Amino acid sequence: MPSVIFRKGLDLRHAVAGQLADDYHSAAVEHIKASDYTHRSGRLTVRLAREFGFCYGVDRAVDYAYQTRLKFPDRAVYLTGEIIHNPLVNEKLRAAGIRFLSDPNEHADRLGAEAVVILPAFGVTIAELARYERQGCTLVDTTCGSVLNVWKNVKQYARDGFTAVIHGKVHHEETQATASQALRYPNGRYLVLLDRAAAVTVCDYIRGKTDAAMILARFKNATSVDFDPDRDLQRIGLANQTTMLMSESLEIGELFRQAMIDRYGAHELADRFRAFDTICSATQDRQDAVEVLLGEHRFDLMIVVGGYNSSNTRNLARICMPRVRTYHIADAACVVSPTELHHQPVDMNRHGPSTLVNRTDETIARQWLPPSGPVSIGLTAGASTPNSIIGPVIERLEQCTAEAP
């Protein structure tokens, strides 16, 4: 039996609205937003960035997951993996009985037509989608429109004979799904690069300064099969994982543009180089808002709240760190006392997956809170962080400030 695919929800939005509000909203955060995004209590002032927390894509994905559970109470409902990179949200879905195909005891290849599979906001690869369709599963597709926009560009590159050069994390679900879109056409190719240093290496090759073997070795697990640098770097189109650091993506685009001009001349640029800004607007808004916050106020410290594996949260922390002491925390439990704050150190140079596997591996900061006098704290949160996590963090900051000697 062919798959049924729900792409626009399941007409149960109103039925799940109350549960979503209970699970993810915060009256305290709404109150602070209504108070010019500022909260004062005793010697503490907390200022929120004007854009923070759940983005439209995450909101929609979580909403659809709740609708799915309600719509199919008697069927096994699965997620392909984490719906978004926030542990609390994933735990709530598990608690509602949704199973995760990424768990070791689950077997995606054994699913049948009775299974309901929710595709995450990041999307899934072409091969994965094709398998669920073959198995006749009912699918609920929550792939974000901003991700679909990237796919559209990558498909056009492949159709027109351009190799997609994707600024992203090769193991991230979204980047894997995006890269797979290049393979919709027989001659589609891709190369994924993590950061500026990787881009410089490829640009050196384009300019003839390094050889193909070196590129193949360096990007061994980050290219389409049979990637041939001599053939596949003659015409390139830039794309990116939607949650990368905007400034870095733009810089990488410019590096490639210049390299293609150096190699082929400006007159050939239009035939050999394409670029579209595919950072999503929600990511960009959050990055812009934190820049504005830091530009308008002086803070003793900055708190960035979100999952440790959340790409966009980590990038928010990377924006803050050079300007002010910054702590990336997961939730209120990290704010233990005036002399103990648990966090994931902000890593300015390593963009790979988080190495912090267990909460017990968190770093402990002892002198994180000024012991006396006024304290000014800036706060933002990644696109996968619900207000129900942010509210208690502010409450703990308030309590610690009041407790401090």
Nearer to ligand SF4, 45 or 312 (CB): 312
Sign of CA dihedral 194, 52, 7, 111: positive
Size of site (CB under 6 A) for ligand SF4: 15
146 binds ligand SF4 (CB under 6 A): yes
Exactly one of 128, 173, 174, 248 is catalytic; name it.
Answer: 174
> Is 398 part of the annotated catalytic residue set?
no
The nearer residue to ligand SF4, 60 or 274, going by C-beta atoms, is 60
Select the span of 140-148, 258-266, 270-278, 340-348 touching ligand SF4 (CB under 6 A). 140-148
What's the min distance (Å) between Cβ of 120 and ligand SF4?
9
User: Which of 383, 389, 393, 400 touches ligand SF4 (CB under 6 A)?
Assistant: 383
Which two three-digit tokens encode residue 392? 């208690």
Q: What is the 3-state secondary structure (H, E, C) of the chain?
A: CCCCEECCCCCCHHHHHHHHHHHHCCHHHHHHHHCCCEEEECCEEEEECCCCCCCHHHHHHHHHHHHHHHHCCCCCEEECCCCCCCHHHHHHHHHCCCEECCCCCCCHHHCCCCCEEEECCCCCCHHHHHHHHHCCCEEEECCCHHHHHHHHHHHHHHHCCCEEEEECCCCCHHHHHHHHHHHHCCCCCEEEECCHHHHHHHHHHHCCCCCHHHHHHHCCCCECCCCCHHHHCCCEEEEECCCCCHHHHHHHHHHHHHHHHHHHCHHHHHHHEEECCCCCHHHHHHHHHHHHHHHHCCCCEEEEECCCCCHHHHHHHHHHCCCCCEEEECCHHHEEECCEEEEECCCCCCCCCCCCCCHHHCEEECCCCCCCCCEEEEEEECCCCCHHHHHHHHHHHHHHHHHCC
Contact between 57 and ligand SF4 per CB under 6 A: yes
Residue 245 touches ligand SF4, criterion: CB under 6 A:
no
Q: Which is nearer to ligand SF4, 290 or 375 (CB)?
A: 290
243 binds ligand SF4 (CB under 6 A): yes
> Scanning residues 249 to 308, which ones bind ligand SF4 (CB under 6 A)?
280, 282-283
CB of 313 to ligand SF4, least distance (A): 10
Q: Does 241 bind ligand SF4 (CB under 6 A)?
A: no
Stretch that binds ligand SF4, among 26-34, 142-150, 154-162, 186-194 (CB under 6 A): 142-150
> Encoding tokens for residue 316?
């928010």
Q: Which of residues 222 and 282 has its CB atom nearest to ligand SF4 in the complex? A: 282
Q: Work out whether 37 is an interface residue with ligand SF4 (CB under 6 A).
A: no
Establish if 124 lies at the interface with ligand SF4 (CB under 6 A): no
Using rule CB under 6 A, residue 119 touches ligand SF4: no
CB of 246 to ligand SF4, least distance (A): 12
Residue number with the smallest Cβ distance to ligand SF4: 57
Task: Using the rule CB under 6 A, give the single segment among 139-147, 193-201, 249-257, 302-310 that binds ligand SF4.
Answer: 139-147
Residue 56 interacts with ligand SF4 (CB under 6 A): yes or no: yes
Q: From the list 49, 144, 154, 400, which residue makes contact with ligand SF4 (rule: CB under 6 A)? A: 144
Contact between 139 and ligand SF4 per CB under 6 A: no
Residue 315: name the closest of 362, 280, 275, 361 by CA: 280
- Residue 397 CB, nearest distance to ligand SF4 (Å)? 26
62 binds ligand SF4 (CB under 6 A): no
Q: Measure the CA–CA gap between 116 and 100, rounded to whole angstroms.
A: 12
* Interacting residues toward ligand SF4 by CB under 6 A: 55-58, 121, 144, 146-147, 242-243, 280, 282-283, 312, 383
Residues with catalytic function? 174
